[in-house]
């Protein structure tokens, strides 16, 4: 069992996962560009260090949790401080041997990451997270992990993954997790957009939106939004980041999914429309707000409102 890990990327989700590992008896050496994030992680029991390379020197297994693959590439391969700068021969003497990438990464960039890490003698597992509850689920070890890795690499790291994920799915070789996560999030966007259109139309027709969502959830149109995001947040007028991740991240994931389909020659006309609607929504209200604001935007367009908290 792995008893010591590194962790680079200590934002809201990363810090929650790192803290979960600490509570399970794992020694965590962590780093984040943000001094505030480093201080918060230190208060949670993470041993904070000065750079990604310092993490790599101390730990054989390193988690990376960043907003996008562009940041992961920098974390890994920055010539002065990157994780992989302490790879290859150095790894044989106790440094980094494997990277677990929790980012909702770009499948087009993952193959480059796999190749470059392989050249440095470092194994790579892409394990983007999904499920319900965000940082709260991370704190409870209830995340869903979509893993791309060789069977051998997964077997070695499965015990530590089980500490943070109650549902671990092996999708195939390295890179498969990022493919699955991008496609999953395109589906989430479709659910949010279509549920918003349906519920707002019902409100315009004079129906009680809560009664409608309850009926849909008991019918064939049920989905994640009718099950969770609308009853728990949208219908109550709660559009905070507690209700859903930042919209810019959903926009990124949708763009990754449709680009992947285009590269593969796989038809995705509806997916392209969904990705464009997400882009329009983000351009309207901003990428830092929760993706549930898509529903709020539809309500504003139609001249209706959700809940007392919707201002």
User: At 276, which CATH number?
Assistant: 1.10.1040.10
Locate 173 and state its tokens.
């070789």
Q: How far apart are CA 91 and CA 81, in angstroms?
A: 15
Identify whether 86 is part of a domain: yes
Which pLDDT tens digit goes with each residue over 172-220?
A: 999 999 999 999 999 999 999 999 999 999 999 999 999 999 999 999 9
pLDDT at 1: 77
Tell whether 195 and 140 lie within a shared domain: no
Q: Which of 173, 198, 213 is the last residue of a domain?
A: 173
User: Taking residues 148-177, what's their average pLDDT?
Assistant: 97
In a domain, 311, yes or no: no
Instruction: For residues 68-72, give the mean pLDDT.
Output: 96
CATH number of the domain to which 114 belongs: 3.40.50.720
* pLDDT in the model for residue 91: 43
Query: Torsion-angle region of residue 105: left (phi > 0), alpha (psi -120 to 50) or beta?
Result: beta
- Residue range(s) defining the domain that contains residue 278: 179-302
Alpha carbon distance 181, 188 (integer Å): 10
Residues 93 and 184 both lie in one domain: no
159-162, long-range: CB < 8 A, 24+ apart: 159/1, 159/2, 160/1, 160/2, 160/5, 160/21, 160/26, 160/61, 161/100, 161/127
pLDDT of residue 134: 76
For 152, the enclosing helix (H) or strand (E) is helix 151-164
The answer to whether 130 and 183 have CB atoms below 8 angstroms apart is no
Domain count, the chain: 2
3-state SS, residue 260: helix
The secondary structure of residue 286, as a DSSP letter, is -
Residue 46 belongs to some domain of the structure: yes
At residue 84 the predicted structure's pLDDT band, cuts being 50, 70 and 90, is confident
Is residue 90's pLDDT more than 50? no
Confidence of residue 92 (pLDDT cuts 50, 70, 90): very low
pLDDT band per the 50, 70, 90 thresholds, residue 269: very high
192 and 277 part of one domain = yes
| 310 found inside a domain | no
- Residue 126 above 80 pLDDT? yes
Q: Scan for tokens 């038809």, then name that residue.
A: 267
Residues 20/69, Cβ–Cβ less than 8 Å = no
Answer whether residue 236 is part of any domain. Answer: yes
Task: Compute the distance between CA of residue 204 and CA of residue 218 in angstroms, rounded to an integer.
Answer: 22
The last residue of one of the domains, among 150, 173, 196, is: 173
Report the C-alpha gap between 311 and 309 in whole angstroms.
6
From the list 80, 109, 181, 252, the catalytic residue is: 181
Residue 309, in any domain of the structure: no
Residue with tokens 């962790």: 7
- Are 8 and 150 contained in the same domain? yes
d(CA 181, CA 164): 17
115-121, Cβ contacts within 8 angstroms, sequence gap of 24 or more: 116/76, 116/77, 116/84, 117/76, 117/84, 117/87, 120/84, 120/87, 120/88, 120/91, 121/87, 121/88, 121/89, 121/91, 121/92, 121/97
- Do 236 and 204 share a structural domain? yes
Tokens at residue 164, please? Answer: 């943070």
Residue 80 a catalytic site member: no
User: Would the pTM of this model clear 0.85, i.e. be above it?
Assistant: yes
């Amino acid at each position: 069992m792995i008893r010591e890990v590194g962790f680079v990327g200590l934002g809201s989700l990363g810090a929650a996962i790192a803290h979960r590992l600490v509570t399970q008896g794992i020694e965590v050496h962590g780093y984040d560009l943000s001094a505030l994030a480093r201080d918060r992680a230190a208060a949670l029991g993470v041993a904070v260090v000065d750079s990604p390379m310092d993490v790599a020197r101390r730990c054989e297994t390193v988690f990376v949790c960043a907003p996008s693959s562009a940041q992961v590439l920098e974390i890994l391969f920055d010539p002065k401080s990157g994780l992989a700068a302490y790879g290859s021969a150095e790894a044989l003497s106790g440094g980094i041997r494997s990277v677990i990438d929790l980012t909702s990464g770009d499948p087009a960039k993952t193959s480059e990451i796999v190749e470059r890490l392989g050249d440095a003698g470092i194994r790579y597992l892409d394990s983007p997270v999904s499920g319900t509850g965000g940082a709260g689920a991370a704190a409870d070890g209830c995340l869903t992990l979509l893993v791309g890795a060789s069977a051998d690499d997964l077997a070695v790291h499965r015990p530590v993954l089980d500490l943070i994920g109650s549902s671990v799915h092996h999708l195939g070789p390295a890179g498969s997790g990022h493919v699955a996560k991008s496609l999953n999030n395109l589906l989430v966007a479709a659910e949010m957009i279509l549920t918003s259109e349906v519920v707002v139309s019902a409100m315009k027709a004079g129906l009680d939106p809560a009664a409608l969502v309850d009926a849909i959830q008991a019918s064939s149109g049920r989905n994640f939004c009718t099950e969770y995001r609308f009853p728990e947040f949208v219908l109550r007028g709660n559009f905070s980041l507690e209700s859903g991740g930042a919209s810019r991240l959903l926009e990124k994931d949708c763009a990754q999914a449709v680009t992947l389909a285009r590269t593969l020659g796989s038809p995705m006309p509806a997916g392209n429309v969904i990705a464009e609607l997400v882009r329009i929504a983000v351009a309207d209200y901003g990428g830092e707000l929760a993706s549930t604001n898509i529903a709020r935007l539809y309500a504003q367009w139609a001249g209706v409102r959700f809940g007392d908290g919707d201002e």
